Every structure is written in structure tokens, then in C-alpha cells.
Chains A and B, each alone.
Chain A
Amino acid sequence: MLETYLRKRLEKKNILLMTHIVLGYPSFEDCFRIIQAMVAAGVDLMELQIPFSEPIADGSVILHANQKALANGVTIQGCLDFVQKVTHAFDIPFLIMSYYNIFFRYGVRDFVSAMSQRGLQGAIIPDLPPEEGKDYFNAMREHKLAPIFIYSPTTPDQRMKYIASFARGFIYCVARKGVTGKTTSFSGALTKYLARCRKATNLPLALGFGVKEKADIDYLEGKADIAVVGTQTIRIMENEGIASVGDFILNLR
């Protein structure tokens, strides 16, 4: 179970690190090398994004990666085949991140079952609020996978509790308004927000959107359980090459 794994890991580390890649960008071979480097650098868990043509929650860097992957001919079957190799090769939890239409078109139950067969541990769907997710979380429960739901700074306390009642594994707290890849201010308002999240749920808290350097992660220690680095690793890879990704991760802690 994802939560048990996270708790155990948190006994040894003050804060865990989750990273993100877009499957098939720049290529599956490169993705494998990036994952290898990330795992070697001590990443605790990873989200693997299945590209979608309309990623409305993503900013320009991840949007571009989605479009490039699709233009390269990446398919869902290709992603699932790749994921199978990854979960066999590496001993950390992997989650699927994608938009709901990917699940819906495949068939929600079938997709969840395919995830389970390939050793995935959960999923994050940014455009699926719990109100629309009945089929999804029933299927996830059946396969003992973690549906990760999202808090935002605009989510009222009561709604946080409501969302928590469907969530397993951890809660993904979005640090601010806006899309992925923009600057986040690591300041008092964020601390207050995370305290509000903590009060609403007993699940571990992940904090993502705009986390890009060691200082950000240091700031989050003691306030969140998992720091999520997404866009920044794609930027590093694009600007400095795949070989730099491992060092970048190592220097985060």
C-alpha cells in the first residue's frame, strides 16, 4: 500500500521527493534513462504522465512535452508497455498522471485493471473532481490502488475533508493558483495553507507546482511530507541534457 510505504520512508527522511516525467518525451529510451538517474539519485516515488492533447492544468513546458510526445506517435498501449518495464526494473512506487479522457476512453475499470497488472500504485487526474469520480475510485479500491486527489489554496476547509474521504495514499496540494511551471512564493501564506491541509486529513501531504530548488524543499520540511518536482526536471533535461538530471536531483537534498 502506498501510504504504508510513504510512512516507512518518512521514518528515515524528513521529506520525500516525487518527480514527474511525460511518457515518450523526448523518447521512451530517454525516459528510461531519466528514471534510472532519478531512482539512483534517491527519488522516493514518481508520477508518469500519459500525454493528452488538451492538458489544461499544465503550463507551457509540460504542455509542449505532451504535444511533442503525441507528435512522435506515443500511444496509450506504448505507455503501458513501457510502464511494465519500469515497474519491473525499479523498486519505488510509480503513479500514473493523466487527464480523465485517457481513462474514460479506455474504459475506467479496464484502465485501472491495466494499471494494477503493471504494478502501478496509484493515479493523479487533475481534471477529475471526486463528484465525477465514482467509477474511478470504486475501481481503484477494488485493485487496492491509491486515487490521489488534489487540494488547492481556494479549497474551503469543509471541501478538503470531503475530498479526503475519497483519497488514498496521499493528498496532492497545489501550492498556488495557475498552471504548472510558474514561480511559487515559499512564504507565510503557503505555511498557513499547508497547516489548513494538515488539519483536514491524516494522509501524507505532497506539495507541488513551482518547486524547483533546494531552498524550496528545505522550506517545506516539517510542513509537507513530499515535495513534487515536475517542470524543473524537464527544463534541466531540455537545457543541460539528460546527464544533468541525476545531479540536479542529488543537489535538491
Chain B
Amino acid sequence: MINRGYYGKFGGAFMPEILTATVDELVKAFEAAKNDPSFWKEYMYIMSTYSCRPTPITFAENLTRHFGGARIYIKREDLNHTGAHKVNNVMGQGLLVKRMGKTRVIAETGAGQHGVATATMAAKYGFKCTIYMGEVDVARQRPNVFWMERLGAEVVPVRKGTRILKDAINEAFRDWVTSMDDTHYVLGTACGPHPFPEMVSYFQSIIGKEARRQILEQKGKLPVRVYACVGGGSNAMGIFSGFFNDPVELVGVEAGGKGLDSGRHAARLASKKGSVGVAQGYKTYFLQDSDGQMKETYSVAAGLDYVGVSPILASLREEGRIRFEATTDREVLDAFSLTIEKEGLVPALESAHAFAQAFKEISDLSKDDIVLINQSGRGDKDIFTIADAFADQNWRKFIKKKAEEYRA
């Protein structure tokens, strides 16, 4: 392997030897695809006819009036097929799988959005599909488990470790070291060993390319700030990459969970608790103890509940190019309520982190300014979590009645 995918001091490829040849093959296939103009054309065709690209940007007029600060625009990744930005990466990797002649795909999933997207792609392209999902996430994202299974995927609940996203990634790697001859691992975020951070960011860059063009077309100027939530970092890399060369402040928002002092969060870059380590195939900031053992993370949003973060984002933070913040579960639920009431938009709890941080800061900006928020996904999947958070009595009644019916 010649280029080992370093971004500053982060990234690399720390893998068992058995995977080296497979990853080399993937690097080759990805490089060939990047240099083949027909590949991007094919990708754009599938994204515009099967998903909903270009996704629009929406002017949030009522929220703008409510805060009385900058004009708020929202990039609508929730309008993608399968309801989140995850499909951008998945369809791209699916095309690569076809090129490599493999017949089975595996993936990890936290919130279930990446799992649903992968199962969808597998159904369309005729691949066998296995999804690894932490047992905790299986319980809190049941609607997505249902859809993955309807789509023909096998969903394997991971009962090892902390039973969330990082453990699902470990299990997917354990499958891959056995099955790589016919199987591709569709890693869902801009993490893991090279070339995944680069490859996932490449496919997600479509978000930023569109958003920049759209805001210039509509408003004739750039936003002053762009907000995105950061779990592994794929939607953030996607939208931020459109503005890397512009005088635009980029704000990544991590899961503050119960608060940074509670120890129950997933703020690897926004808190002082993160430190550099090597796990899951790459070097980045992790939430780990002084021995290097990974800590348990927590967030109301399963998709942000992850111990590491994209090495590209870690490097951009060190360069001072991206500011990182964290918002608590409580702030996120408030932002979610406000957004649904004022705009009729239903952000995923992950995406609602970006909204919450923007809302905190927006009144300080001038009315002439524009801010852009990435709504990376829609909140339908969170129906159980949100119903609980708001103690929705009618929902509870309905579930009880449904349970009675099933018991009969």
C-alpha cells in the first residue's frame, strides 16, 4: 500500500494482515473509478433517478423570524431515498462492489439509517446483505430493524462490548476477515482504515457541492456558517467539503448527551476528554482511559453514539479549520420541537444536534447573514425515542392497545 491515507497525524491503516490484500484491491477499484468520468456520471444518474438528488435547500422563514438573527437555510438530506444522507455513500460503494464483482455486502449501523440504505442498495443490485447492529441500538431503533429485514437483510444484534456502534464495526470486521473473497464491507462513515475515510467523504461531497451552488444561485452569496452534526463525520465531511476554500465558518456538533461533565456523552473533539489513539483500523481522537481502553459513550441519538471520529475532521480541527461544539440531549429535544412546530420539518435526533447549536448562536449574527444547517436525516425512525422523551400519552395508549392485540 503506497498511500496509507494520512491527514496530518491522523488516519492510516491499522489492520490485521489478512485484510491488506482486500483493502489494496479496494483502493485500486476506487482510484480507477475516480479517474473514470463515466463512473461519476453513472453515480449521478442513479442518485437523481433512484434517490432524490439534488436535494433542495429550504429557507426556514419562521425560525429565522423567531430568532431574529441570520437567515436560516436547511440542506434537505432527509429527502433522500431511505431518509438520510447515508444513501449517497452506499450507492457509490454499491457501484464499486459491482465493478469488483463481489456478491455480498455487510455493514455496521448505529441509528439504522446506514443499515437501511445498505439493505436497500443490496436489494436493488441483487447482493446478499448482513447488517451488524449493537443490541442497544436494535432496541432503540426498532423501525429501522423492521425495514432492513423487509428489505431482505439479515440483522445481527451485537451483544459484545458496549453493544453500540463501535461494537457493530468490530463484528463487521470479524465477518470481513473471513468473507472478503465475495464480500465488501460498506463502512458507513468517514472512519476506519484507508481508503474508507477518503472514499466515504468523496461520495458525500455531493452534499456540499450542491449546497454551495444552490445558496449562490438563490442568494448570490455564501453562508457565514455551516452546521452539521458529527458522529463518525460523514454528513459533516459531505457538506463542509463544499466550503473548504471559502471564508465560511464550519461548525461540527457532537453529542453532549447528559452534559460534558456527566461522563455520559460522545464529544471526542468538543470536550477535553478525547485523546489520540488507534482502534478500528485508524488513528484519531477517541474517548478512552489512560490505558487506551475505549470508554462507553452515550447519546440520545444512536448515530452520534460513537467512540471515534473521522481522522479528516480530527486533522481539520487541529488546523483550526473547523470549530467543534457539543449539545446536550435536552437542548436537542428542544430544538427538535421548535423545528417541527415552526417549520413542519422533522429532523432526525442526530441532525437536531446541528439545529440546536445553530439556535444557540444565531441571534448574535446580522440579519444579512446566512447560516446553513445540514438536516442529515429525517426523524421518523426516532418515533419511539421521541414519544418517550415527550411522554406522549396518546402514543403510549396506542402501543399498549397494539400490545394487547398481539397478545390475543
Chain B window 150-161, contacts with chain A (Cβ cutoff 8 Å), 1 for yes, 0 for no: 000000000011
Determine whether the beta carbon of B21 is less than 8 Å from that of A53. Answer: no
* Partner-binding segment picked from A31-39, A173-181, A228-236, A245-253: A173-181
Determine whether the beta carbon of B20 is less than 8 Å from that of A56. Answer: no
Chain B window 267-306, contacts with chain A (Cβ cutoff 8 Å), 1 for yes, 0 for no: 0000000011111110100001011111000000000000
- Find the residue from B18, B178, B181 having the highest chain A CB count within 10 A: B18
- Find the residue from B13, B290, B292 having the highest chain A CB count within 10 A: B292
CA distance A55 to B179 in the complex (A): 18
A82 in the interface, Cβ–Cβ < 8 Å? no
Chain B window 188-222, contacts with chain A (Cβ cutoff 8 Å), 1 for yes, 0 for no: 00000000000000000000000000000000000
Determine whether the beta carbon of A101 is less than 8 Å from that of B13. Answer: no
Known: A54-B170, A177-B177, A179-B174. A150 touches B291 (CB 8 A): no
Chain A window 159-175, contacts with chain B (Cβ cutoff 8 Å), 1 for yes, 0 for no: 10001000000000010
Min distance, Cβ B277 to any Cβ of chain A, angstroms: 5
Chain B neighbourhood of A57, CB < 8 A: 16, 177
A41 in the interface, Cβ–Cβ < 8 Å? no
Determine whether the beta carbon of A70 is less than 8 Å from that of B178. Answer: no
Determine whether the beta carbon of A129 is less than 8 Å from that of B291. Answer: no
Question: Which chain A residues numbered 52 to 73 have a C-beta less than 8 Å away from chain B?
Answer: 52-57, 59-60, 63-64, 67, 70
Nearest residue (CB) in B for A77 is B291
Question: Which chain B residues numbered 1 to 57 have a C-beta less than 8 Å away from chain A?
Answer: 1, 4, 12-18, 20-22
Determine whether the beta carbon of A54 is less than 8 Å from that of B291. Answer: no
B240 in the interface, Cβ–Cβ < 8 Å? no
B173 in the interface, Cβ–Cβ < 8 Å? yes
Min distance, Cβ A59 to any Cβ of chain B, angstroms: 7
Determine whether the beta carbon of B17 is less than 8 Å from that of A151. Answer: yes
Chain B neighbourhood of A149, CB < 8 A: 17
Chain A neighbourhood of B13, CB < 8 A: 129, 131-132
Determine whether the beta carbon of B14 is less than 8 Å from that of A53. Answer: no
Determine whether the beta carbon of B15 is less than 8 Å from that of A129. Answer: yes
Chain B neighbourhood of A182, CB < 8 A: 178
Which of B1, B14, B275, B290 is in CB contact (< 8 Å) with A127?
A: B14
Question: Which chain A residues numbered 207 to 233 have a C-beta less than 8 Å away from chain B?
Answer: none
Which of B17, B173, B293 is in CB contact (< 8 Å) with A56?
A: B173
CA distance A52 to B276 in the complex (A): 16
- Find the residue from B1, B15, B174, B275 having the highest chain A CB count within 10 A: B174
Chain B neighbourhood of A76, CB < 8 A: 291-292
Which of B173, B174, B278, B280 is in CB contact (< 8 Å) with A104?
A: B278
CA distance A83 to B8 in the complex (A): 36
Determine whether the beta carbon of B20 is less than 8 Å from that of A129. Answer: yes
Chain B neighbourhood of A60, CB < 8 A: 160
Nearest residue (CB) in A for B294 is A53
CA distance A132 to B16 in the complex (A): 12
Question: Which chain A residues numbered 144 to 163 have a C-beta less than 8 Å away from chain B?
Answer: 149-156, 159, 163
Known: A56-B174, A105-B290. A150 touches B16 (CB 8 A): yes
Determine whether the beta carbon of B16 is less than 8 Å from that of A54. Answer: no
Chain A neighbourhood of B60, CB < 8 A: none
A93 in the interface, Cβ–Cβ < 8 Å? no
Chain B neighbourhood of A179, CB < 8 A: 174, 177-178
B180 in the interface, Cβ–Cβ < 8 Å? yes
Nearest residue (CB) in B for A50 is B291
A186 in the interface, Cβ–Cβ < 8 Å? no
Chain A neighbourhood of B1, CB < 8 A: 131
Which of B12, B22, B178, B279 is in CB contact (< 8 Å) with A54?
A: B279
B166 in the interface, Cβ–Cβ < 8 Å? yes
Chain A neighbourhood of B181, CB < 8 A: 177
Known: A57-B16, A105-B290, A178-B178. A100 touches B278 (CB 8 A): yes
A75 in the interface, Cβ–Cβ < 8 Å? yes
Chain B neighbourhood of A177, CB < 8 A: 18, 177-181
Determine whether the beta carbon of B15 is less than 8 Å from that of A105. Answer: no
A126 in the interface, Cβ–Cβ < 8 Å? yes
Determine whether the beta carbon of A105 is less than 8 Å from that of B4. Answer: no
Instruction: Please give 10 more A-B residue pairs, beta carbons under 8 A apart, in addition to A105-B290, A127-B14.
Output: A53-B294, A54-B280, A56-B170, A100-B278, A104-B277, A132-B12, A150-B16, A154-B22, A177-B178, A179-B177
The 3 closest A-B pairs by CB, nearest first: A105-B292, A178-B178, A152-B18
